[in-house]
Amino acid sequence: MIAQPTTTTITPGIQPPPIDYPDSDGQPIADNTKQFHWIQKIYMNLAAVFTNDPQVFVAGDLLWYPVEGDNKTRQAPDVMVAFGVPKGDRGSYKQWCENNIAPQVVFEILSPDNRFGEMLKKQAFYDTYGVEEYYIYDPDRHDLSILVRSERGDLRLRDDRPDDWVSPRLGIRFQMDEDTLTLFRPDGQPFSTLAEEIQRTKQERDRAEEEHQRAEQERKRAEQERDRADRLAARLRELGIDPEAIG
């Protein structure tokens, strides 16, 4: 008996199941503490810089899907910034749900496990889907690469040193010293971690308390001087001497 081929009957009006866009790629946020430190530091400071602008969305390690209907084409930048996009929680960044606005700025912090081929794929992705500024920092080698979209429309690596580079979109300044990278907010304050902010706040509070105590001590000394002067004036009057005449 010859087996008959099976056929699939499509019932008119039945829609195919919706495409699933996973919120996780199963990869860790960071491979080591140094990488995590930099991701957190950049994310938190950029979030602070744009905290009062409701149309700037800052995210870390969020899957970005640029094409509707394609759940394979995706990347999760370590940090990304999208201008013209409202703040709010998201499981992933589906570009077609965001007025088709691509994140304009992305950061990648390298770890020893990053492969050259993987970084080339990421660069091609960001180039293809409209990123304007792409920053790659290797904290182990202390190396910063800056790629900016050129007039020709592609991401180009800047040839000059990144010393004192100011991001056109973010307004933040990059300063490369001999052994460290420092980023500065538009107001000139350096990027800092939450722990550093807490420590600085404590130091400022301690200084304010010391100033208050010194002022209180000066006030008490002044009151004591006035009391002594009043007692002396009263004693002179008892002796029939006019304190004003002595003065």
- Half-sphere exposure (Cβ direction) of 231: Cα atoms closer than 13 Å: 6
Q: How much is the pLDDT for 1?
A: 42
Q: How many angstroms separate the CA atoms of 90 and 247, rounded?
A: 78
**Residues 6 or more apart whose Cβ sits within 8 Å of residue 123:** 134, 147, 155
Q: Which of 144, 186, 138, 185 is nearest to 163 (CA)?
A: 144
Q: How much is the pLDDT for 116?
A: 76
Least confident of 81-90, 133-142, 152-161: 152-161
Radius of gyration of the CA atoms of the chain, in A: 31
The whole-number average pLDDT for the span 7-22 is: 68
CB atoms closer than 10 angstroms to residue 49: 20
Q: How much is the pLDDT for 3?
A: 44
SS3 state of residue 30: coil
Tens of pLDDT, residues 177-190: 888 899 999 999 99
Number of residues in the chain? 247
Which comes out higher in pLDDT, residue 236 or 75? 75
**Residue % of the chain over a pLDDT of 70:** 88
Q: Residue 200: pLDDT band by 50, 70, 90 thresholds?
A: low
Q: How much is the pLDDT for 208?
A: 67
Is pLDDT of 11 > 60? no
Q: What is the dihedral of CA 44, 47, 49, 53, to 10 degrees?
A: -170
**Residue % of the chain over a pLDDT of 90:** 53
Is pLDDT of 124 > 70? yes
| Mean pLDDT of the chain, nearest integer | 86
Q: Which residues of 111-150 are buried (b: 16+ CB within 10 A; e: fewer)?
A: beebeeeeeeebbebbbebbbbbbbbbbbeeeebbbbbbe
Q: How many angstroms separate the CA atoms of 213 and 202, rounded?
A: 16
State the amino acid at position 117 in one-letter form.
Answer: G
The whole-number average pLDDT for the span 99-111 is: 96
pTM of the predicted model as reported, rounded to 2 decimal places? 0.75
Is pLDDT of 10 > 60? no
Q: How much is the pLDDT for 201?
A: 59
Tens of pLDDT, residues 166-178: 999 999 999 998 8
Is pLDDT of 136 > 50? yes
The answer to whether the beta carbons of residues 119 and 108 sit under 8 Å apart is yes
- Residue 161 sits at φ, ψ, to 5 deg, of -65, 145
